[in-house]
Amino acid sequence: MSEKEEIFSKLIKDNQGLIIKVSRLYTNSLEDEEDLFQEIVLQLWRSYDTFKGQSKISTWMYRVALNTAITLFRKKTKSPKTDELMDFHQAEYLEQDDEKQSQIALLYKVIKLLPRVERAIVVMYLDDQPYREIAETLGISEVNARVKMNRLKKTLKELMEKHA
């Protein structure tokens, strides 16, 4: 393995939680989540040489991950519909034995109900990304990111109460 491959491999390992979150929020099955994870890693590898260090590595990774997820989402919505059933009431890949796991599953369920950009804001917020980085990643102002997140907190609370 080359030095570049080793550095990239460590980068993916250190930031795999970011990729998993994006994959989980833009898919409805474990199989699709795994496929999206792999596609995001592939796109990160393809664009790795273009990263110039003008932003934090996590900001760049979020941008690539979200763009990949949204692009695949658009392709799927343009393809013919199948008989695949999407079960929003239970995430197959989460243990729901205790209250905390149940709350996490409910949170992911209601986040998936949000439009794509709002989903991106929430996932970055939950990952403790500063508003400046959220704004930079999505191409909006920092003030706009803060306002949107404040509105989303209220929306998420209402959705969680409705779907509980």
CATH topology of domain 1-82: Rna Polymerase Sigma Factor; Chain: A (1.10.1740)
Q: Does the pLDDT value for residue 93 go beyond 70?
A: no
Place of tokens 């393995």: 1
Q: Does the pLDDT value for residue 95 go beyond 60?
A: no
- Kindly write down the DSSP assignment for every residue of 82-139, as one continuous string: -SPPP-TT--TTS--SSHHHHHHHHHHHHHTTS-HHHHHHHHHHHTT--HHHHHHHHT
Q: Does the pLDDT value for residue 90 go beyond 70?
A: no
Q: Does the pLDDT value for residue 71 go beyond 90?
A: no
Give the 3-state secondary structure of 54-76: CCCHHHHHHHHHHHHHHHHHHHH
CB contact set of 110 (below 8 Å; sequence gap of 6+): 156, 159, 160, 163
Q: Does the pLDDT value for residue 74 go beyond 50?
A: yes
Question: Architecture of 95-164 per CATH?
Answer: Orthogonal Bundle (1.10)
pTM: 0.66
User: Average pLDDT in the 143-156 region?
Assistant: 95
pLDDT in the model for residue 104: 82
pLDDT in tens, 39-52: 999 999 999 998 98
Tokens representing residue 28 in the block: 């409805």
% of the chain surpassing 70 pLDDT: 84
Tokens representing residue 136 in the block: 């930079």
Give the span between the Cα atoms of 50 and 101, in whole angstroms.
39
Mean pLDDT of the chain: 84
Q: Does the pLDDT value for residue 37 go beyond 70?
A: yes
Confidence of residue 79 (pLDDT cuts 50, 70, 90): very low
Spatial contact of 39 and 14, defined as CB atoms under 8 Å apart: no
Ranges of each domain in the chain = 1-82, 95-164
Amino acid at position 137, single letter: T
Q: Does the pLDDT value for residue 98 go beyond 90?
A: no
